[in-house]
């Protein structure tokens, strides 16, 4: 069972934020959060602030350490019919019924099966890919993989190369050298998720 300090650290890590950002989100100060970490306890007043602003956190886990951090209803979903394309861009219907799954230790908002070969040898067709939504101010790292959703319902996993703020396109690249980089308009992108998990099919 995690200690109170470890549980508080886990919540901060789950949101991928600094202590300052975390404190601002729950309406308190960084000093208060830091003091709780140094004292290795979560006062009920702080737990109340966390649970009021972060409704997906399990109260039983946060206060007592029982069960898992996320409530059952907010476990990541596996969308078996929404393919994360690793080849030619694929179009997927968005009305499939998700299956709720949880992989301990993985930060993911959703899971998808991969299709195509453009990301080989990193990702093969049929691999399970976990993705997590990026913070609005996140800096894109060309060494990391991203799941990109466009306003035309295109879903693809690629590297995103650095670009200046005044550029109106992203350059996307693959791990398979047979696939050449290409560009898409920034205003066509609805959402960018970071790939946080790759489970190879057996």
Looking at per-residue pLDDT, the higher value among 179 and 60 belongs to: 179
Q: What is the rounded average pLDDT for all residues in the chain? A: 80
24 contact partners, CB below 8 Å, separation of at least 6? none
Looking at per-residue pLDDT, the higher value among 159 and 99 belongs to: 159
Task: Compute the average pLDDT of residues 18-22.
Answer: 86
pLDDT above 80: residue 15: no
Domains and CATH numbers, the chain: 4-74 (1.10.260), 77-199 (2.10.109.10)
Question: 63 and 42 in contact (C-beta within 8 Å)?
Answer: yes
pTM, two decimal places: 0.56
Left, alpha or beta for 116 (phi > 0: left; psi -120 to 50: alpha)? left
Predicted confidence at residue 99, as pLDDT, reads 44
Predicted confidence at residue 114, as pLDDT, reads 84
Query: What percent of the chain is predicted at pLDDT more than 70?
Result: 80
Looking at per-residue pLDDT, the higher value among 43 and 136 belongs to: 43
Predicted confidence at residue 16, as pLDDT, reads 58
Confidence tier at 94 by pLDDT (50, 70, 90): very low
pLDDT above 80: residue 30: yes
Look at the alpha carbons of 101, 102, 106, 109 in this order and tell me if their dihedral is positive or negative: positive
Question: 38 and 44 in contact (C-beta within 8 Å)?
Answer: no
Question: Which single residue is written with the structure tokens 């898992």?
Answer: 68
DSSP 74-135: GSPEE-TTS-EESSS-EE--S-PPPEE---TT---SEEEEEESSTTTTTS-TT-EEEEEEPP
């Amino acid at each position: 069972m995690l200690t109170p300090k470890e549980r508080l650290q886990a919540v901060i890590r789950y949101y991928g934020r600094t202590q300052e950002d975390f404190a601002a989100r729950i309406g308190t100060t960084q000093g208060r959060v830091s003091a709780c970490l140094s004292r290795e306890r979560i006062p009920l007043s702080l737990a109340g602030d966390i649970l009021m602003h972060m409704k997906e956190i399990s109260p039983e886990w946060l206060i007592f350490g029982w069960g898992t951090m996320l409530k059952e209803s907010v476990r990541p979903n596996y969308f078996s019919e929404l393919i994360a394309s690793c080849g030619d861009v694929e179009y997927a219907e968005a009305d499939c019924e998700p299956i709720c799954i949880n992989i301990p230790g993985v930060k993911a908002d959703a899971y998808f099966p991969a299709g195509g070969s453009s990301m080989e040898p990193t990702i093969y067709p049929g691999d399970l890919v976990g993705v997590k939504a990026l913070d609005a101010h996140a800096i894109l790292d060309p060494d990391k993989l991203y799941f990109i959703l466009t306003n035309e319902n295109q879903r693809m996993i690629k590297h995103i190369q650095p670009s200046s703020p005044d550029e109106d396109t992203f350059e996307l690249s693959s791990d398979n050298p047979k696939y050449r980089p290409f560009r898409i308009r920034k205003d066509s992108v609805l959402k960018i998720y970071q790939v946080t998990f790759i489970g190879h099919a057996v």
